Chain A
Amino acid sequence: MSFLEANNIVKKFANHLALDDVSVAIPENSIFGLLGPNGAGKTTLIRIINQITGPDAGKILLQGKPLSREDISRIGYLPEERGLYKKMKVGEQALYLARLKGVSRNDALKKLKYWFEKFEIQPWWDKKVEELSKGMQQKVQFIVTILHNPSLLIFDEPFSGFDPINANLLKDEILHLKKEGATIIFSTHNMGSVEELCDHITLINNGKAILSGVVSDIRYEHRENLVRLEYTGDNDQIKKIISHHYQLEASQALNGFESLLVKMPEGTDINQLLRMVMDHCHIHSCQEVLPSMSDVFIKVVNQNKVTL
């Protein structure tokens, strides 16, 4: 059973359909990527899950039960448009936001102390938010999001505004949260982090879910039978042999090896390719190249545009 299910969600704004019969199913204890170009409807779906707005039609089920107002204390949400009260002190503000989620004062203080020390922002407790750098404010927001131990976490573009070191810190924390049993929804344009973190994804475009599945499966399904061959030997001769039978996509010299990208017809065996060149060079490596999520994203969204 899925941890969270959104079934046939429809949301209409004035004269534009933000979500058109969208369904997603998020397995328990996984990281789920919600992808899509700007304005596709991701934030609207996230707001519906957070009960900030209601759907016009469709249902959200959390562990099989319809989502209720009490469930908001089980959800931690880091919105894309996020900020803090500028004139309020950091610690006071973190405490306030935690208590709004239903954490008791003492509990919140204890946990905040732990997290502030872990993220090395303890000295800023009594400073006003406006004195903090953007990265530090993001840390405070992240802490507030996870402080009440939510079983469902929703991160909308969590890495924007972080430097690589802090982005890495955040990534480790997200993976750690998953290890501790949380289910995580992750909305981003950063495809690199999707490959790194996500187990499942759904791609939304123009209010419709156009692609769903396990990340590795999706990449496999969209493979283009590209093979990368690395070798040392007579470059011209090898190229001639290969281009005689297959399509040569690219060639370059890399770390003292010759490297070729070969596109093979559907259903051809890599062994055939190897047999052809084996006697003429020294093979270093050979592997099928799967498309990156970024390639899949662009391809699927563009295809979708054509069919419209």
Chain B
Amino acid sequence: MSKISLILQREYLSRVRKKSFIIMTLLGPVLFAAMMVVPTWLSSMEDSIEKKVAIVDHTGLYIDQIKDTDLLKFEYLEPESEEDLRNNFSSTPYYAYLVISEDLLENPDAIRLYSDGQITMDVRDHITGGLREYLRSQKLKSFELEGLDGIIAAINKVGIQLTTIKLGEDGSEKESSTEMAMVVSLVFAFLTYMFVFIYGTQVLRGVMEEKTSRIVEVIISSVKPFQLMLGKIIGIAMVALTQVFLWILLTVLIVTGAKALFFSDTDMPSRMDGIEMAMEGSSQQAQAAQADGFNFDKVMDMVNSMNPVTTILLFILYFLGGYLIYASLFAAVGAAIDNETDSQQFMFPITIPIIIALYVAMAAFRNPHSDLVFWFSMIPFTSPVVMMARIPFDVPIWQIALSLTLLIAGFLFTTWFAARIYRTGILMYGKKVNYKELWKWFRYSDK
């Protein structure tokens, strides 16, 4: 046992002290934090340059209907100046110029906005918003009904705001967020996939290093091959956990620090709007959400409603289980081959299930309780990724328990299976290995 811990120590320390590990560990949270903070910071940062937009209205119907804002000013020019604007645009002080050529109620596309650069969403939205308002009121007026304005305004106020509530066992109520659950589901499934892959490959490299540097025979004259394999696998698992732990810790620190620094007074619109914005593809909805009070505290409430401690605990369990299942297989491949180019043919069947798992996980966050998703969250080779995608959607305890039990059984099996190939493989040099050969190694008896 003390020998395994010696091996484990070496595997752990030699990796944790590497420059690449330190850089990744420090840089990771900065990137994560940037992903969370920068979009909100950018959107909260006021555009400080005043923009001027010229309007050439050939109809004369829309003079002064678009209101100036602090940073967006409109100037109405004579219809004759259009030619001049077009030819000498760069020498004019304008950011853009708008040409209205016909009555927009009759011909809604008789309006063009010209600029020498890309026009921002804000400017577009402001112009269309202002004009639409005006056109609506014009249209209403054309019906010539008394009090129509009031009726329309009253109709517009009708709406529902659906709040989804999760019932606890004891009937207690918690607000839940489907969008939030989807995001969390996807993030966790992807993280599990990524970690299993990254650290599984490290096991493969580590085993190959021992084999190609020919140190392995020296070591297994002191310890059993199985101890060497297990020490390496556990050592690297601890490296992974260290990295995850530091990432979480540093990300929380940076985000809290950044929040205190940049958003000390205002509600911090969380990164969730950023993601939501991207998901819905419309800034208007996000603005609406914000107007409804979609603020940081509310998001935190929702995160809390999903039991972050349990979620993270399950994440660690599934990540470890998934890693252990694959790591021993990666170790067997590393032992079987002499150089990395040979690894492809054996890596392929190992990576197939985990890639399938990722696809199923994508389906899981739309329909987390379908049969397909259920079975894939039970099969040990895919369960770590798929079950993590299901977790935010309230998976029954018995399913989690069953899937974890199968996962443990699965990794005991792969470790046993891989160890038999490993102990023969590490001492074989210069032999072209194929599956038949591996099967032979597997069946060698040993005392």
Residues of A with Cβ closer than 8 Å to B? 13-14, 47, 50-56, 72, 75, 77, 79, 81-88, 96-97, 99-101, 141, 144
Q: Is the Cβ of B220 less than 8 Å from the Cβ of A84?
A: no
Q: Is the Cβ of A99 less than 8 Å from the Cβ of B6?
A: yes
Q: Is the Cβ of A72 less than 8 Å from the Cβ of B218?
A: no
Tally of chain B residues near chain A (CB < 8 A): 24
**What distance in Å separates the Cβ of A245 from its nearest Cβ neighbour in chain B?**
55
**What distance in Å separates the Cβ of B6 from its nearest Cβ neighbour in chain A?**
6
Whole-angstrom CA separation of A100 from B218 in the bound complex: 10
Partner of B221 from A77, A83, A85, A99 at Cβ < 8 Å: A77
Q: Say if the beta carbon of B219 comes within 8 Å of chain A.
A: yes
Q: Which 10 residue pairs across A and B have the least CB separation, nearest first?
A: A54-B447, A83-B214, A100-B222, A83-B213, A79-B217, A77-B221, A81-B214, A50-B221, A83-B215, A101-B222
Whole-angstrom CA separation of A100 from B3 in the bound complex: 6
Q: Say if the beta carbon of B427 comes within 8 Å of chain A.
A: yes
Partner of B217 from A52, A85, A101 at Cβ < 8 Å: A52
Whole-angstrom CA separation of A84 from B219 in the bound complex: 10
Inter-chain contacts of A87 with B (CB < 8 A) = 14
Whole-angstrom CA separation of A77 from B222 in the bound complex: 9
Known: A53-B446, A87-B14, A97-B222. A82 touches B217 (CB 8 A): yes
Partner of B427 from A52, A56, A77 at Cβ < 8 Å: A52
Residue of A nearest to B209 (CB): A85
**What distance in Å separates the Cβ of B15 from its nearest Cβ neighbour in chain A?**
10
Q: Is the Cβ of A52 less than 8 Å from the Cβ of B6?
A: no
Whole-angstrom CA separation of A84 from B213 in the bound complex: 6
Whole-angstrom CA separation of A149 from B323 in the bound complex: 40
Known: A52-B427, A53-B446. A82 touches B218 (CB 8 A): yes
Q: Can you report 12 residue pairs joining A to B where beta carbons are below 8 Å apart?
A: A51-B221, A54-B446, A54-B447, A79-B214, A79-B218, A81-B217, A83-B214, A84-B213, A87-B14, A97-B222, A99-B6, A100-B223
Partner of B218 from A14, A47, A77, A86 at Cβ < 8 Å: A77
Q: Is the Cβ of A97 less than 8 Å from the Cβ of B218?
A: yes
Q: Is the Cβ of A82 less than 8 Å from the Cβ of B440?
A: no
Whole-angstrom CA separation of A75 from B220 in the bound complex: 12
Known: A14-B440, A54-B447, A87-B14. A96 touches B6 (CB 8 A): yes
Q: Say if the beta carbon of B10 comes within 8 Å of chain A.
A: yes
Q: Say if the beta carbon of B413 comes within 8 Å of chain A.
A: no
**What distance in Å separates the Cβ of A6 from its nearest Cβ neighbour in chain B?**
15
**In the complex, chain B residues 216-238 whose Cβ is within 8 Å of any chain A Cβ:** 217-223
Whole-angstrom CA separation of A56 from B220 in the bound complex: 19
Whole-angstrom CA separation of A144 from B223 in the bound complex: 15
Q: Is the Cβ of B220 less than 8 Å from the Cβ of A52?
A: yes
Partner of A141 from B218, B220, B440, B444 at Cβ < 8 Å: B218
Inter-chain contacts of B220 with A (CB < 8 A) = 52
Inter-chain contacts of A100 with B (CB < 8 A) = 3, 6-7, 219, 222-223
Q: Say if the beta carbon of B429 comes within 8 Å of chain A.
A: yes
**What distance in Å separates the Cβ of A7 from its nearest Cβ neighbour in chain B?**
15
